[in-house]
Amino acid sequence: MEVAMEPAPVQDAAAEIERIKGVVSRYFSVYETDVRPDSVGFHCRVDTEMLDENFSRLRGELEALGYVPIITYRGGEHIVVVSRLPKVKPRGIWVNIVLLVITIMTTIFAGIILWVGYQGESIGKLSDIDSETILMGAVTFAVPLLGVLGIHEMGHYLMARRHGIPASLPFFIPAPPFFPLGTFGAFISLRGPMPNRKTLFDIGIAGPICGFFATIPVLVIGLILSGGEGATMPEETGGMWTVMTPLIYDFVSLFLPISGEYTLHPTAFAAWVGFLVTAINLLPAGSLDGGHIARAALGPDAKYISWAAVLVLFVLSFFYIGWAIFALLILFLGLNHSPPLNDITKIDRIRKAVGVGMVAMLAISFAPIPISVTSYDYGFEAELVGSDSANLSAAMSHTFMIVVNSTGNMNVDLMFDISSEEDISELDYYVGYNGFSQIGKDQPVVLHVEDSVMINFTMLLDVMIAADREVNVSIDIYAQQDDRFRKSIDVNITEVAGSLECVISPAEASAHPSDEIEFSIYLNSSSAAGIEAEIAVDNVPYGWDVGLYINASDNMTDILSVHLSPFEELLCTLLVNIGDAASPGSEAEIRVTVNSDFAICPPQTVVITVL
Architecture of domain 500-610: Sandwich (2.60)
pLDDT at position 286 is: 86
DSSP collapsed to 3 states, 126-180:
HHHCCHHHHHHHHHHHHHHHHHHHHHHHHHHHHHHHHCCCCECCCEEEECCCCCC
User: DSSP for 242-285?
Assistant: EEPPPHHHHHHHHHS---S-BPPPHHHHHHHHHHHHHHHHTSSS
- Average pLDDT over every residue of 418-446: 84
With bands split at pLDDT 50, 70 and 90, how would you rate the model's confidence at 256? Answer: confident
Cβ neighbours of 243 (radius 10 Å):
17
What does the domain layout of the chain look like in residue ranges?
3-87, 93-373, 380-495, 500-610
Nearest CA among 289, 147, 136 for reference residue 215: 147
Sign of the C-alpha dihedral computed for residues 264, 270, 274 and 280 taken in this order: positive
Is there a common fold for 3-87 and 380-495? no
- Average pLDDT over every residue of 251-261: 76
Residue scoring higher pLDDT (220 or 90):
220
pLDDT, tens only, 199-246: 999 999 999 999 999 999 999 999 888 875 545 666 666 777 788 889
The fold adopted by the segment(s) 3-87 is Threonyl-tRNA Synthetase; Chain A, domain 2 (3.30.980)
Cβ neighbours of 67 (radius 10 Å):
21
User: DSSP for 322-385?
Assistant: HHHHHHHHHHHH-S--PPPSB-SSPP-HHHHHHHHHHHHHHHHH--SS-EEEPPP---EEEEEE
* DSSP 8-state assignment for residue 17: H
- Average pLDDT over every residue of 272-277: 92
pLDDT, tens only, 475-502: 999 999 999 999 999 999 988 776 778 8
Residue 462 has pLDDT above 90, yes or no: no
Please tell me the pTM assigned to this model: 0.70
pLDDT at position 153 is: 93
Residue 524 has pLDDT above 80, yes or no: yes
H or E segment at 217?
Answer: helix 197-229
> CATH code for 380-495?
2.60.40.10
With bands split at pLDDT 50, 70 and 90, how would you rate the model's confidence at 3? Answer: very low
